[in-house]
Amino acid sequence: MEYLEDFITNLSSRFRKENDLSDITWTMCQTSDRFLEAFVQFFFPGVSTDDIYLQRELSDDDSRPDFYFQSEGKEYLIECKIYDRNHHFEQYTKRFKVPAERLGYITNYPLQKVGFTVHTWTELYVYLKGRIPDEEASLWNGYLGYLKDVCSVFLTNTPMNLDGMFSLYTFYRGLDEVFSFDNDHYTAFLYDSRKDTNSGGNFSGSTPREGVMGKYFEVAFKHVRMKRAWGWMGVYFEREHPLVCIGFDDRDGWGKSVFDLLIDRVDDMEAGLYFDAPYYDDETNGIWFDFNKADEFNQLGNSKEQTALLKSFLQEVLDTIYSIKQS
């Protein structure tokens, strides 16, 4: 049964959009009557789910709520949002002639709307977590793993330590030194254009990325026919054990020259001394190298030694790229 749980959870790596989430939630409701009952009663406590059919989407001109069902002669709608902020409260109640209390609404961010009840996916996660039937545990846990990943559900009782946050700043400032190279094979340095990087390496488009901090670097390879590239190095700290990584994406004027060199080889590339086997990530459309010396990094006695270790990581990545280009 663990394969079932892993299968559903792993869907989050490819099916992450709002429609995907609604489709998989609908599939869960079709698969388990217990899940259907819990899902419906999360929005509408006390509503009977006996003999109901949960319809995936109800379309009428420009209105298309995600779920529709009837129970005891009354119509109900549910609208699902992840990050989209284009809302349809009055539009749906007027179009489908349902009162506000029969419009279920769920988002991935806090939202208040006078006269309506708005839930979050985190609230649903906690609600379902407390109602898992033993005989369907793998199915439910798989869905909850999927939901947790797609909606970035964050729940912890671990106490915060404000003093420890200085380490993140030290890491961030230390990258300037990590990026500095000028040897026989390449030159590399910090790329700090505020315009091109949307005010720094922690942004995707114009939006700050939660739990991510890093910077861009520029690298020019010598004695080989290869355009210069701009990569990113940083840390994902939205997890208990942060991940340091280096990435090159498939954008012209950024990491494309490295990406094009590696994309047909990446599945056969092996781990190095400082990084795990590189991989392609379709969400970022990039080639990634993950740092594999975190334990050693944490045991070093000062920040200079730690910066030197990160510099060795980047050097091995750049040496690997150069060797492949020469071969």
On the 0-12 / 13-18 / 19+ scale of CB atoms within 10 A, 194 is exposed
Domain count, the chain: 2
| 155 falls within a domain | no
Provide the pLDDT for residue 208.
60
Name the residue range of residue 143's domain: 2-150
Do 111 and 183 have their domain in common? no
| 178 falls within a domain | yes
Note the Cα 306 to chain centre separation in Å.
Answer: 27
Domain edge (last residue) among 128, 150, 172: 150
Do 192 and 311 have their domain in common? yes
Q: Which residues of the chain have pLDDT under 50?
A: none
| 110 falls within a domain | yes
Do 230 and 100 have their domain in common? no
Provide the pLDDT for residue 210.
79
| 97 falls within a domain | yes
Do 8 and 81 have their domain in common? yes
Provide the pLDDT for residue 60.
85
- 271 close to 235: Cβ distance less than 8 angstroms: no
Shortest CA distance to 179 belongs to which of 256, 123, 234? Answer: 234
pTM to 2 decimals? 0.76
Q: Where are the alpha helices (DSSP H) in 44-157?
A: 89-96, 121-129, 137-150
- Within 10 angstroms of residue 246's Cβ, the number of other Cβ atoms is 25
Alpha carbon distance 86, 70 (integer Å): 26
Provide the pLDDT for residue 206.
52
Do 98 and 174 have their domain in common? no
Provide the pLDDT for residue 61.
81
Shortest CA distance to 100 belongs to which of 113, 116, 114? Answer: 116
| 44 falls within a domain | yes
| 199 falls within a domain | yes
Provide the pLDDT for residue 23.
97
Domain edge (last residue) among 127, 150, 173: 150
Provide the pLDDT for residue 233.
96
Starting at the earlier edge strand, list the strands of the sheet with 103-107. 55-56, 67-71, 74-80, 103-107, 118-120
Do 289 and 238 have their domain in common? yes
Do 183 and 247 have their domain in common? yes
Check the CA dihedral 178-183-185-187 and report its sign: positive
Residue 303: both structure tokens together: 């920040």
Domain edge (last residue) among 91, 124, 150: 150
Do 18 and 102 have their domain in common? yes
Do 17 and 146 have their domain in common? yes
Alpha carbon distance 327, 322 (integer Å): 9
Shortest CA distance to 213 belongs to which of 267, 170, 182, 180? Answer: 170
What count of Cα atoms within 13 Å lies in the side-chain half-sphere of residue 179?
24
Do 214 and 183 have their domain in common? yes
Alpha carbon distance 172, 242 (integer Å): 14
Do 167 and 145 have their domain in common? no
| 57 falls within a domain | yes
Alpha carbon distance 246, 231 (integer Å): 7
| 24 falls within a domain | yes
Do 42 and 175 have their domain in common? no
